[in-house]
Amino acid sequence: MRQPGAYSKLLSGGVSGKTGPHSLPLARIKKIMKKSSEDVKMISGEAPIVFSKACELFVEELTKRAWLITLQGKRRTMQKDDVASAVITTDIFDFLVNLVVEDRNNSTAAVAANKLG
Amino acid sequence: IVIREGGAARAAATATNAANIAGAPLNVGAEEVNQQQQGFKRDADEYMPIANITRILRRVLPTHAKIADDAKEAIQECVSEFISFITAEANRRCRRDYRRTVTPEDVLAAMASLGFGDYLESLTVFLNNHRTQQDPERGSRNQISQSVRRDGGIEVGFLHHHQPQGAPTVRPPPPPPLAASTMGYYVPLPPPVAATMEDEEEFGGLPKVTNEFGGGEEFDPFQ
């Protein structure tokens, strides 16, 4: 993996040089992209860079929604179920539903999913 | 919905833990121990590092907020699934158009059609800045444009800057129009860049094609 060059200071400002100019590791993003389907052949060098930013936006959105649910429960600790509820109640997160709800017989999230699904 | 490898690994680790708690035979195989270790240390190939994710979520939460470890892990898994989900759609677009390289434009268009259109503006600015910084001359000509069409659809394409007089590169004819795309989003193919393409030797192993509509700069930060 290429070490960040002189340009990284421009891009990163205060970000530590350990992960390079982007806050998420590009090589790992690329690995996950490769695994997404059998026939992913070539990936432009910039595609993981777009994902590094997109994943930030995604984490921010998921976290904010989960935190709202934590607050609704008058708690200060975000639990896994809060994340699951955020997924279930957000349309565009539908692709994550099977990931967050493991046991449809137990847990608040499963009960919520059962009500909606 | 396909069950991802990450989920399977987790289930296996859980099963191993349960077996150990129930007093399973003492000679645990090396493979099982490995899976246990992978279950605890989740910075494996398939996830974003938990430290990076924690940094991002701290940015949007109040200072007094606490986050349970399994909540962080759940977010970690969701991120990987997000990448896979978008990539699969982006790859589908490539295949449909007989292209072999998944480009940033494919990724952006996939996000738009899968409901993540809200991200497009930030991502477009981010990518344009990156291109300009990488190569101030060519990068500023390869900018992504994003406009809202009359019918409300989002169009992701290239701003067509005029080349300066006497530029050595030859402008090839514009590519043929795409076939009907999903949900009204369309990504016009950019003209092939005259510069050499970086070889993605890791992937494919197909012979190098010189007239590839690869899209934008073939910049490989991994070398």
CB contact under 8 A, B123 and A57: yes
B75: nearest CB among A44, A51, A59: A59
More confident position, B112 or B5: B112
Across-strand partners of B147? B155
Paired tokens of B76 = 């970690």
Mean pLDDT across the stretch B47-75? Answer: 95
The chain-wide mean pLDDT, for chain B, equals 69
More confident position, A22 or B51: B51
Would you say residue A113 has pLDDT above 80? no
Mean pLDDT across the stretch A56-84? Answer: 97
B68: nearest CB among A28, A64, A78: A78
Topology adopted by domain B44-134: Histone, subunit A (1.10.20)
Mean pLDDT across the stretch A77-105? Answer: 90
Would you say residue B57 has pLDDT above 90? yes
What 3-state class would DSSP assign to B142? Answer: coil
When pLDDT is cut at 50, 70 and 90, the band that residue B194 belongs to is very low
Which span out of B6-15, B48-57, B158-167 was modeled with the highest average pLDDT? B48-57
CB contact under 8 A, A76 and B66: yes
What is the distance in angstroms between the Cα of B159 and the nearest Cα belonging to chain A?
Answer: 18
**pLDDT at residue number B144:** 81
Q: Are B85 and A95 in contact (CB under 8 A)?
A: yes
Domain A8-116 has CATH 1.10.20.10: yes
State percent of chain A over pLDDT 70.
68
Our CA angle for B50, B39, B54, nearest 5°, is 10
Residue B71, amino acid? A
Distance CA B36, CA B9 (A): 10
Q: Considering only alpha carbons, which residue of chain A is nearest residue B43?
A: A28
**pLDDT at residue number B206:** 45
SS (H, E, C) chain A: CCCCCCHHHHHHCCCCHHHCCCCCCHHHHHHHHHHHCCCCCEECCCHHHHHHHHHHHHHHHHHHHHHHHHHHCCCCEECHHHHHHHHHCCHHHHHHHHHHCCCCCCCHHHHHHHHHC
**pLDDT at residue number A117:** 58
Mean pLDDT across the stretch B56-68? Answer: 95
CB contact under 8 A, B222 and A55: no
Distance CA A99, CA B141 (A): 41
* DSSP-derived pairing of the beta strands B66-67 and B144-148: unpaired
Distance CA B57, CA B54 (A): 5
* Domain extent listing, chain A: 8-116
Mean pLDDT across the stretch B186-204? Answer: 47
What is the distance in angstroms between the Cα of A88 and the nearest Cα belonging to chain B?
Answer: 12
In this predicted model, what pLDDT tens digit does every residue of B85-94 receive, in sequence order? 999 999 999 9
> Which of B1, B43, B48 is the best substitution to test chain A (most A C-beta atoms within 10 A)?
B48
Would you say residue B15 has pLDDT above 80? no
Closest CA to B223 of A62, A26, A33: A26
When pLDDT is cut at 50, 70 and 90, the band that residue A38 belongs to is confident
Closest CA to B200 of A72, A44, A107, A3: A44
CA distance to A28, A83, A102, B31, per residue, from B80 (Å): 10, 15, 17, 24
**pLDDT at residue number A12:** 45
User: ipTM of this complex > 0.85?
Assistant: no
Our CA angle for B12, B16, B17, nearest 5°, is 120
CB contact under 8 A, B116 and A24: no
Paired tokens of B103 = 């480009």
CB contact under 8 A, A60 and B91: no
Would you say residue B217 has pLDDT above 60? no
CB contact under 8 A, B56 and A99: no
Would you say residue A26 has pLDDT above 60? yes
Q: Are B179 and B96 in contact (CB under 8 A)?
A: yes
A24: nearest CB among B52, B87, B119: B52
